[in-house]
Amino acid sequence: MSREHELHAEREHLAGLYDRLDTERGRVHDEYAAALRGEDGEAPMDRDVRVRETAARKRRLDVADHGLCFGRLDDTDGGRSYVGRIGLRDRDTDEPVLIDWRAPAARPFYVATGAHPEGVHRRRQFHTRGRRLEGFTDEVLDGAGEPGSDAALLAAVNAPRGEGMRDIVATIQGEQDEIIRLDHGGVVVIEGGPGTGKTVVALHRVAYLLYTHRERIARHGVLVVGPNRAFVRHVETVLPSLGETDVVFMTPGDLVPGLHVTREDPAAAAVAKGSLSILAVLTAAIADRQRLPEEPLPIELTDATVHLGADVAGWARDEARASGLPHNEARAVFVDVVRWALTERAVSRIGRGTLTAADREPLRVDVADEVASHEELARVIDDLWPVLTPQQLLAGFYETTDDPTLHRADGGAWTVADVPLLDELVDLLGRDPEAEAAAATTRRREDQEQAEYAAGVMEVMTLDREELDEDLGVTVQDLIHADALADRFVERDTRELAERAAADRDWTYRHVVVDEAQELSAMDWRVLMRRCPSRSFTVVGDLAQRRAPAGARSWGAMLDPYVPGRWVYRALTVNYRTPAEIMAVAAEVLAGFAPEVVPPESVRASGVEPWARPIGDLAEQVAAFRTDEADREGTSVVIGPPGVPGTVPASETKGLEFDAVLVVDPDRVLAESPADLYVALTRATQRLGVLYRGVRPAYLSRADASTTASATSPATGARTVQGARSR
């Protein structure tokens, strides 16, 4: 069959798959509408479960329009199967007509090579635009024909970058697929240099885990932690594009609900706060707020005056601490002991030598009631054992501590390193039982008011059924009955899982992804381990790119205290983002501060040499760069030291990629953090320029120094580093 005939046949086949997709989508849309209406006698909770399940299926079908089918496998026995974004089955035979990329049957599409064909004769990769098949590339793997190339991969890595990260379901490589499908219930550490795809591999691993363990994972969701908000915005569309939405995206500064912190501490403070030794500091700060009176305090009752001194308060404090309860909950023990002791003293004084045993008990009850409601005593107790919030305690500690490393005038000017401390204090302080009881009462009252309002609305709407049918074009049966609508507001949470999880500090996730994990401190890891009791993690990072002073220096040091023997290490070695010409410059920087680290091998060369020139009129040079890039498709960025106008710090570009990058004053970036310069030089997918001060740095020896060099010169060609798929 000629290539034109094959192309026509494949177009017809893909059109048939899209017809099946549309049919299935229409059926699920009908199921979703029926679930919203509910069935007679169906419990509201059951209806909500059905609504959410069908909504999730609808979302997964809705994302399949782009790249529904991206490949075909022909096996050595003459069989043929198609691989795509989702799975589809024949409605009559229930046979698969399209294999989900995560299914075991799709694995050869990603791992088969000429050396290990996995029973595959031909791998065909489709090139589509919307629903139209533009062409295909064949790769013969069993020696029966000419081998193909990595055309699909090169097309993807050479394509201009957009505003967000794209999924790679059509171009997953062998070493990536192995990690995505890794069957390990503990912690998987994925380490790789710039451009190796470790982030997108981690996200596809989440999609794979949700596919294979949906019942176990989906009910509690997945948490993805990235280094900054720009990174989160860059990656947060990947999983929705794969039909997965039960995912919460956060930065380390977001891990306490209600806080969105970005400010960073000086290095010394960050190290102090990131170390586990800060736990003793927090415990001591709490103990310091559990005070004793300096002198006996008079408590005037109706018939006697008693004194609360260090003896009684000390005894009460010892009992409260011995209870093992958190501070706010142990306060009840402290209060009970103080009240009991003062009541006994008052009874003894009032009835000294005049009361019989029968009279003493009623007196004790009366005095106990007066002591319990005594306003001055309540104020004294609040001073000796106050109810504390994490924010109150930590802010007060920072403002009063004698430690110059931790002291600051505005204690509540939170930094990212404060977030794990605030989270720790939630457990150390505990809840305020009285405040929680009051809040629960308020919630019940508000729910009841909403339920009554909903019932009233539905009563009005059903007064004239015929008029309703005529004016609105719907029947009453299409509406939610009043009692069902009202029931939605009574002690039920109708928010989406991701919204509920993000707002609940005590929510636990079934899986957590940590990107740029080398930046997390020991205290950060305590927060994350609390969020995932099952200890199911995908950890992504590169120790060579660590810039945080309290960050990881080895994976074992961070993980062994929590998951000894339950973590595995996998490395990615191929750079799919950075052209060989740019990576050669970055490798010179890497060799200067981490000579033991082998840089990843670039899968391609762009044909465009990076350039380096002295800084002249910086504003004019930056403007020229931006003007040149504005005429090109894709993205660009200017990276420089913190505080330099018109530039972005390297720390804010971690995990991001751009078609063109201009690095300003690299020596200053290097002086602040060698890893930051390494990051800055490896953000570009096509073009790199460097503007330096003074003498040309030695690490720029490979960059073009000619005055005619341009950061925006077009590529003169590309070449493939063979074997990328099999690495």
Residues annotated within the binding site for ATP are 192-199
Coil, helix or strand at residue 644: coil
282 near 273, Cβ under 8 Å? Answer: no
Helix (H) or strand (E) holding 36: helix 3-37
Q: Which two tokens stand for residue 109?
A: 């599409």
Coil, helix or strand at residue 617: coil
Q: Which two tokens stand for residue 439?
A: 């809040």
Buried b (16+ CB within 10 A) or exposed e, 142-163: beeeeebebbbbbeebeeebee
Closest CA to 48 of 63, 32, 64: 32
How far apart are alpha carbons 663 and 681 in whole angstroms?
7
Within 8 A by CB and 6+ apart from 357, the residues are none
Q: Which two tokens stand for residue 57?
A: 């299926």
394 near 420, Cβ under 8 Å? Answer: no
Rounded to 5 degrees, what are φ and ψ at 671? Answer: -65, -35
User: How many Cβ atoms are within 10 Å of 194's Cβ, its own excluded?
Assistant: 27
User: How many Cβ atoms are within 10 Å of 48's Cβ, its own excluded?
Assistant: 16
Q: Which two tokens stand for residue 352?
A: 């000294």
How far apart are alpha carbons 556 and 563 in whole angstroms?
9
Query: How far, in Å, are 25, 61, 68, 69, 676 from residue 65 at the CA level?
Result: 11, 8, 6, 9, 39
Q: 674-681 and 580-593 are packed helices; what angle lies between their axes, rounded to 10 degrees?
A: 170
How far apart are alpha carbons 535 and 514 in whole angstroms?
12
Closest CA to 60 of 206, 241, 248, 249: 241
In the numeric block, the tokens 């402290």 are attached to: 334
Query: How far, in Å, are 279, 290, 452, 506, 622 from residue 633 at the CA level?
Result: 51, 63, 56, 45, 18
Within 8 A by CB and 6+ apart from 278, the residues are 272, 421, 523
First to last CA, the chain: 34
Query: How far, in Å, are 238, 254, 544 from residue 179 at the CA level?
Result: 17, 28, 21
214 near 189, Cβ under 8 Å? Answer: no
549 near 526, Cβ under 8 Å? Answer: no
- For residue 204, the 8-state DSSP code is H
- Indicate if the alpha-carbon torsion angle 214, 220, 226, 231 is positive or negative: positive
How far apart are alpha carbons 111 and 173 in whole angstroms?
7
In the numeric block, the tokens 């001055």 are attached to: 376
Helix (H) or strand (E) holding 575: strand 574-575
Q: Which two tokens stand for residue 464?
A: 């004239």
Coil, helix or strand at residue 685: strand
393 near 251, Cβ under 8 Å? Answer: no
The amino acid that residue 168 corresponds to is I
User: How many Cβ atoms are within 10 Å of 623's Cβ, its own excluded?
Assistant: 12
